[in-house]
């Protein structure tokens, strides 16, 4: 895959150092090449995407300063979609989806700009259970793991 996009939005509450949140996120990566386990590869155009709905728990480590490291993860579900518009330059119309269990783990650091606003830099590992996509010839199964570096803003009300 080529590098892609990861957009997240979350709403939640804090209980001391613990943050509970509901998150919706969208990840998309464009195809580059597909390598077969039996050897060989093909150039693909299209994308693989994930629309996920997660319940997350984060723990903020109080360092006694404006810098706040955090660690956590979550679980939920994800609508996975694979679209292939061409294979080795030949037009294609493959477009299949599957809804699967999703999970994520992450860590990062925030900096308190104000008592209510924090900017964050974090890493997320997002994965799913096996994705099954059905085409006219057979059922293909895929493993999905996504690594993201995220920059964000958190506002406490």
Question: pLDDT, tens digit, for every residue of 46-65?
Answer: 888 999 999 999 999 999 99
Question: pLDDT, tens digit, for every residue of 89-139?
Answer: 888 888 889 999 999 999 999 999 999 999 999 999 999 999 998 776 778
DSSP letter, residue 137: S
DSSP letter, residue 16: T
- The three-class DSSP label of residue 130 is coil
Confidence (pTM)? 0.86
117 vs 115: CA distance, rounded Å: 6
Q: What is the DSSP string of 63-74?
A: -SSSEEEEEEEE
| Region of residue 20 (left: phi > 0; alpha: psi -120 to 50; beta: else) | beta
Which pairing describes strands 131-134 and 145-155: parallel, antiparallel, or unpaired? unpaired
């Amino acid at each position: 895959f080529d590098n892609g996009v990861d957009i997240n939005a979350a709403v939640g509450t804090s209980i001391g150092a613990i943050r509970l949140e509901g998150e919706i996120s969208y990840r998309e990566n464009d195809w580059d090449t597909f390598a077969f386990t039996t050897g060989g590869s093909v150039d693909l155009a299209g994308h693989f995407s994930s629309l996920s709905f997660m319940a997350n728990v984060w723990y903020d480590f109080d360092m006694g300063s404006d810098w706040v490291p955090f660690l956590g993860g979550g679980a939920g579900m994800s609508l996975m979609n694979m679209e292939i518009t061409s294979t080795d330059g030949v037009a294609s119309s493959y477009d299949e989806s599957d809804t699967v269990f999703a999970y994520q783990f992450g860590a990062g650091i925030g900096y308190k700009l104000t008592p209510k606003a924090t900017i964050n830099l974090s890493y997320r590992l997002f994965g799913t259970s096996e994705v099954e996509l059905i085409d006219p010839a057979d059922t293909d199964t895929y493993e999905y793991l996504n690594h993201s570096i995220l920059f964000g803003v958190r506002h406490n009300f």
